Amino acid sequence: MSTVQYTYDPRHLEASEPTKYKPEDLTEEQMLINIGPQHPSTHGVLRFEVITDGEVVVDVVPHLGYLHRCFEKHAESMPFNQVIPYVDRLDYVGAMNNEHAYVMGVERMLGIENDIPKRTEYIRVLMAELNRLASHFVAIGTYGLDIGAVTPFLWMMRDREHILRMLEWVSGARMLYNYIWVGGLFYDLPVGFEERCKEFVTYLKPKLVETRDLLLNNKIYVERTANVGVLSRDLAINYGVTGPMLRASGLRFDLRRIDGYSVYPQLDFEIPVGEGTVGTVGDCWDRTWVRYRECEESVKIIEQCLEMLTKEHKRTRDYDPRAMVPKKIRPQAQDFYVRAENPKGELGFYFRADGRSDVPVRCKARSCCFSNLSVVPEISRGVLIADFIAIVGSVDFVLGEVDR
């Protein structure tokens, strides 16, 4: 095999990722600035082509595709159940949630979703909510970092580390778990997990209050984020924005309640919405506030799951998490669209099975971050460059899901 030969040619960049605006399109006062590719809040790679007039942003053109790893093409070449490790790579800070959404879709397509043991479902929800916490910690922490606050970032990363340790204990991997399988789980919870998790919840509750006092009520932080990047509710719906971003715009819309999948109907939790406490409804502060409130609700869900897992659906000798795992998946010829509430919004999967094989004809992932990112140019026209950074951070996208 020969080694890769590549000679640098400046024309290559111009041919592969040309800027939308050419120098002759700009007026004399305007300037083209590239922000990115590695902005701290993007957790990956993304380039914004920003047209500025002085300090004011005139237009923004996002350039995606630096991380493109062909999820959909790849999924067309292997059976449904073998895609799960790859699903983890979509939103790699919320991998359990991706798995939950995908597995739920396949199970519904096969018609076995009601046969899954309750203990399995509660473990799934517990894992998904733990991971939702971890994902929101990254969102809030790095957002603080964008604004210029380092301490909350360190605190949130410290607490996230506890969650990752527990998830590693469960699945054996730190970020990409492959734990939730079609029809069951990879393994039961390790012995002592419930107790450790309870201790963690007790530890976490005061830490959340600390974070709120330090970051969200901080005067500098409020000045930087309140009334910045206001996203109206109609615009959000029109752009397909979902998740905390849509709820911050004032719509009480959560698929965990609307679709009522898994065991969420049996659990008691609230859906926080943005109320414009310090600014306007749907501004950057509200988006982080909704994420913070969701952390509290997730803690509530985790407590209830632990209660169920230690009382009603206890670990028993004859409980086998893999009992329902099908040897071979044989879906009928059909199209299927299923969606779930991920930390960042609605993650949907569109499957098409041809009825002859267990390999999907088409497996499209409708990712939340993709739609959430598409609204950024709309809400950042006419703001200052510093505010633009605040807006980009408040969207909380993971590029693995944008590029897929």
- Residues found near another protein in the complex (CB under 8 A): 1-2, 4-7, 9, 12, 15-18, 20, 64-65, 68, 70, 72-73, 76, 108-109, 235, 237-241, 251, 253, 258, 332-339, 346, 348, 350, 352, 361-362, 364, 366, 370-371, 374, 378, 403-404
223: Cβ contacts below 8 Å, ≥ 6 apart: none
8 A C-beta contact, residue 70 and residue 57: no
- Nearer Cβ to another protein, position 280 or 374? 374
By beta-carbon proximity to another protein, the closer residue of 217 and 238 is 238
The structure tokens listed for 401 are 């899901």
Question: Closest approach of Cβ 337 to another protein, in Å?
Answer: 5
Spatial distance between the Cα atoms of 97 and 204, rounded to a whole number of angstroms: 21
CB of 238 to another protein, least distance (A): 5
* Residue 365 near residue 71 (C-beta atoms within 8 A): yes
The least distance separating another protein from the CB of residue 16, rounded to whole angstroms, comes to 4
**Cβ pair 91, 342 in contact under 8 A:** yes
Beta strand spans in 191-311 (E)? none
Closest separation in Å from C-beta 304 to another protein: 25
User: Between 9 and 268, whose beta carbon lies closer to another protein?
Assistant: 9
User: How many residues are present in the chain?
Assistant: 404
Closest of 95, 62, 54, 99 to residue 81, by C-alpha: 99
Nearer to another protein, 126 or 373 (CB): 373
Peptide bond into 37 cis (omega under 30): yes
Give the residue with the Cβ less far from another protein, 271 or 384: 271
Residue among 209 and 333 whose Cβ is closer to another protein = 333
State the nearest-atom distance from the C-beta of 37 to another protein, in Å.
14
Q: DSSP 3-state assignment of 235?
A: helix
DSSP element (H, E) containing 195 = helix 193-211
Burial letters for 62-83: b for 16+ Cβ neighbours within 10 Å, e otherwise?
Answer: bbbebbeeebeeebeeeebbeb
Nearest approach, Cβ of residue 21 and another protein (Å) = 12
- Do 65 and 54 meet the contact criterion of CB atoms below 8 Å apart? no
Of 73 and 314, CB closest to another protein: 73
- Least distance to another protein, CB of residue 212, Å: 30
**Judged by CB, which is closer to another protein: 84, or 368?**
368
Q: How far is the CB of 228 from another protein (least distance, A)?
A: 21
CB of 18 to another protein, least distance (A): 6
**Integer CA distances (angstroms), 152 to 200, 207, 208, 283, in order:** 19, 11, 10, 20
Of 219, 228, 212, the closest CA to residue 152 belongs to 212
Separation of alpha carbons 346 and 335, rounded Å: 19
Choice between 296 and 354, CB closer to another protein: 354
